[in-house]
Structure formats: C-alpha cells, structure tokens
Amino acid sequence: MTKYDVSAIVEGYAQGYFLMADETGENLSWYSCSDRTFIPLDERFHYPKSLRRVLNSNRFTVAINRDFKAVVAGCANRQTTWISSQLKEIYWLLYQSGYAYSFETWQGDELAGGILGIAIGGAFIGESMFYHIPEASKVAMVRLVERLRDRHFVFFDAQMMNPHLARFGAYTVSEKEYRSLLRLAWKSSCSFA
C-alpha cells in the first residue's frame, strides 16, 4: 500500500496548487502563485527562426512515456532541484494512474530531452524540462504545443515565468483567471496520450 493518496494529489493540482520539496529535500509542500505562466496554444505561441531549421531537419523524434523515469531523473539532475526522491515517487504513482506524462525528444536511441507534465481534463501542467542535447527541449516544447492544440486542451500551465519561456510567447494570468480556467479545464474530456 502506498503512503500517498493519488486522488488527494490530483485534487490539489485541480485546485491550482503544485508540489515542491524544500531546500533540504526532506519536506514536500503545496504551493501556489499569484500569477500563473501559460504557454500559449494559439497564434501568440512563437519560437526563434533558428529553431525552425532544427524542426525541419527532423534530427529529433518525439515520444510519450517511452522512458518516463529517465525524464524525471533528467529534470531533477541539476545543482539545485525541488524534485526530491519523494516527489519522484509521487510522479511515478501519477504516471501509473494516467495523470503524469513525459513528452520526450530522441536522437536515434538516445534520450535528448523532455518535458514532465500532469494532464487533468483539459489542463496540461508542465512540471519541469531538461535536455542532454542542445535544442532538444525546445523541439519538445514546440511539438508538445502542437499536440495540446490538436487535442483541444484549454491551457498549458508552465507555473512560473522565466526568460526561456518568454521566448515562446509565455504570458501570465491572475490567480482569479487561472482558477476560472482551471474549472473549465477540469470539465473538459481531453486525452493526452
């Protein structure tokens, strides 16, 4: 029997919270932001022209959940990480329950990069991303946006703004607007996989 209640965790995300470990990696807590960062799923989404050449070259192929644990490990492999061993276990349980996904880029048989996320209804909540090969995570971002559009997702929540996300047209919404969109997304019957 697991010590984590998957339905309670999903309910926490559905209410607009996300899990992070503290600096010690020992304690998990729920967090929220006054402003949430969205990756646009409409014409506001854009990317550098140099990336178009990489996309057109077909250097990378994409896959979903081909190596979920490796993507989680890649996202956690940084000098300062909020993805503790507890959170890795939770992501694995969410994956087994059909909520967590790894959207991956591969170069041949090598995992090049990827995005870890949670899909609930029409909401895709991006938890983290990484790359082993330059441009791989950017390609994952573009292909993921295409997939979310095709599947009619309501939004792609990237949680917190950073310069990398801003390059793709990321924008912020207020907490009130976020919760309203979250209720709409929760009622949607989108299928990610």
Which residues of the chain fall short of a pLDDT of 70? 1-2
Burial letters for 120-157: b for 16+ Cβ neighbours within 10 Å, e otherwise? bbbbbbbbbbbbbbebbbbbbbbbbbebbeebebbbbb
C-alpha 114/C-alpha 121 separation (Å) is: 21
C-alpha 100/C-alpha 29 separation (Å) is: 18
The reported pLDDT for the residue numbered 12 is 95
Question: Does residue 182 lie in a domain region?
Answer: yes
Question: Does residue 193 lie in a domain region?
Answer: no
C-alpha 117/C-alpha 123 separation (Å) is: 10
Question: Does residue 110 lie in a domain region?
Answer: yes
The reported pLDDT for the residue numbered 48 is 87
CATH code: domain of residue 126: 3.40.630.70
C-alpha 159/C-alpha 152 separation (Å) is: 20
Residue 167: name the closest of 74, 51, 60 by CA.
51
The reported pLDDT for the residue numbered 193 is 86
As beta bridge partners, residue 19 has 30
79 alpha-carbon distance from chain centroid = 20
The reported pLDDT for the residue numbered 41 is 98
Question: Does residue 1 lie in a domain region?
Answer: no
Question: Does residue 65 lie in a domain region?
Answer: yes
Question: Does residue 121 lie in a domain region?
Answer: yes
How many folded domains does the chain comprise?
1
The parent domain of residue 87 ranges over 6-187
Question: Does residue 192 lie in a domain region?
Answer: no
